[in-house]
Chains A and B, each alone.
Chain A
Amino acid sequence: MIGIINYGAGNIFSLTAALERVGLTYGMVNREEELDQYDRIIIPGVGHAGAAMQKLQASGLAECIHTIQKPVLGICVGMQLLTDFSEEGNADLLSIIPLKTLHFDQKIKEKVPHMGWNSVSIRNDNPLFSNIEDNAYFYFVHSYFIEYDTAYTAAMCAYGLPFSAAISKDNFYGVQFHPEKSGKAGEQLLLNFSKLS
């Protein structure tokens, strides 16, 4: 069963609806003790990364996330929280994956936010992308991105520059796009996450 970190950063109706569509069960994690009830954890998040980090800290869950040994998936801002730092609010984040979250503005000539369906190039047969074809399209909505990195980028996307569509390190995974809104490919990714060991 999947535990969803419930720290008040945005609406999670779409996420829980997607989990239900693919037949996955879930519950909410409000306190550290509740982490034990689940075999994998999702960190959702929309909106402002700095504000999301403050909410995570206020929830008391920020300190324990790096200790989790089970598969963890951060989605969108939930993924950005795994990095060291975000230019959004110049916020220090969880520092689980040593990357930075940067603003698209000034760096690209394309429109910001990066909004819509973009193709994703999968690296090193990452198991999160099992049964998903290379260059499959996923739905993105974001103004900040995680830099591309040869060690931690699990899937690459290009929008004016190459950035991390997905990252992974040990049991921690993150996706910048919204699998819950990304058609069949997104649903497959959620299923893949449910099978990671």
Chain B
Amino acid sequence: MLAKRIIPCLDVKDGRTVKGVNFVDLRDAGDPVELAWQYSEQGADELVFLDIAATHEGRKTTIDLVKAVARQVNIPFTIGGGINEMKDAEILLNAGADKISINSAAVRNPQLINDLAAAFGAQFVVVAIDTRYLEGQNFVHLSGGRIKTEIKTEEWVREAQERGAGEILLTSMDHDGTKNGFDNGLLKKINDSITIPLIASGGAGNQQHFVDVFQQANVDAALAASVFHYGEILIPELKNTLRSNGLVVR
């Protein structure tokens, strides 16, 4: 049986982990490569690195980081942030990234999804979408949820799939940071409307939230950051909880 995936997400800037990390036995909490290795040892199924560096110099450090992760980590990983054109994606592919995630760039230039999928395969292209519920509807937001667009989330998800996205990473801005659980209603609705894998993001606070999102929305993967970084949820324990609830995990 295909296993449900657990994906820790790491924010990096200039080659260093940004958010605080609270692993007991970590030599260097700011080193994304060591963190990535730790997560893979704990049984994480995949990793996402979100590059929040804006500078050219920062990007170069990110490429070095991707190479180091690809050398040392034996599970798949995705790089997001700062990918605006084909060239950006190709550099990351050649550095060893398994997937790239595009967000605002895809909204501004939807053809980028087609071009990336045609050049590198759909499996390489994750379309990340930040969504917020306003006046009865779900709207796509840009720049970490700060800028509202007029695009309806459900329509954009469908378009991204049609253009060749290999996966959708959906972050509910209403749930993100609340630790009150994933947006299971919206995730189920979106999941039922697509035929490509869906990664749930935003709202994870405890192990039950992961059970709920897999059971209620039947998503393929669930992503979280702080609950893993601060050791509030340990991946081996989470996997045991999921298993005891009848879910298939690795």
Contact = CB atoms under 8 A, between A and B. Distances in A.
B61 interface: no
Interface residues of A, number: 34
A52 to B, nearest CB: 11
A181 B220 CA distance: 18
Interface in A34-71: 46-48
B5 A14 contact: no
21 contacts: A13-B70, A14-B70, A17-B96, A18-B74, A21-B72, A21-B74, A111-B197, A113-B196, A115-B166, A116-B45, A116-B221, A117-B2, A117-B3, A118-B3, A119-B1, A137-B3, A139-B76, A158-B1, A183-B40, A183-B74, A187-B74
A6 to B, nearest CB: 15
Find the residue from B2, B76, B250 having the highest chain A CB count within 10 A.
B2
Nearest to B248: A119
A103 interface: no
B95 A116 contact: no
A139 B47 CA distance: 13
B236 to A, nearest CB: 14
Given A11-B93, A115-B167, A118-B2, A17 B250 contact: no
Contacts of B121: 46-48
A14 B96 contact: yes
Interface of A: 11, 13-14, 17-18, 20-21, 46-48, 110-119, 137, 139, 141, 143, 158-159, 178, 180-184, 186-187
A158 to B, nearest CB: 7
In the A-B complex, list the 10 residue pairs whose CB atoms are closest, starting with the nearest: A13-B96, A137-B250, A117-B3, A141-B123, A117-B250, A17-B71, A181-B76, A118-B2, A47-B121, A183-B74
Contacts of B122: 113, 143
A116 B3 contact: yes
A14 B123 contact: no
Given A111-B196, A118-B2, A183 B75 contact: yes
B203 to A, nearest CB: 22
Contact of B197 (A18, A116, A118, A143): A116
Contacts of A178: 76
Contacts of B94: 11, 13
B21 to A, nearest CB: 22
B86 to A, nearest CB: 15
Interface string B91-112: 0011110100000000000000
A125 B183 CA distance: 45
Nearest to B195: A111
Contact of B98 (A114, A119, A181): A181
Interface of B: 1-3, 5, 40, 45, 67, 70-72, 74-76, 93-96, 98, 120-123, 166-167, 194-197, 220-221, 250
Given A11-B96, A116-B220, A139 B2 contact: no
Interface of A: prevailing SS = mixed
A117 B98 contact: no
Given A118-B3, A159-B2, A113 B166 contact: yes
A89 to B, nearest CB: 14
A140 to B, nearest CB: 8
A185 to B, nearest CB: 9
Nearest to B90: A11
Contacts of A141: 123
B73 to A, nearest CB: 9
A4 to B, nearest CB: 15
A178 to B, nearest CB: 8
A57 to B, nearest CB: 20
B20 to A, nearest CB: 27
A16 B126 CA distance: 24
Contact of B74 (A137, A143, A158, A184): A184
Nearest to A138: B250
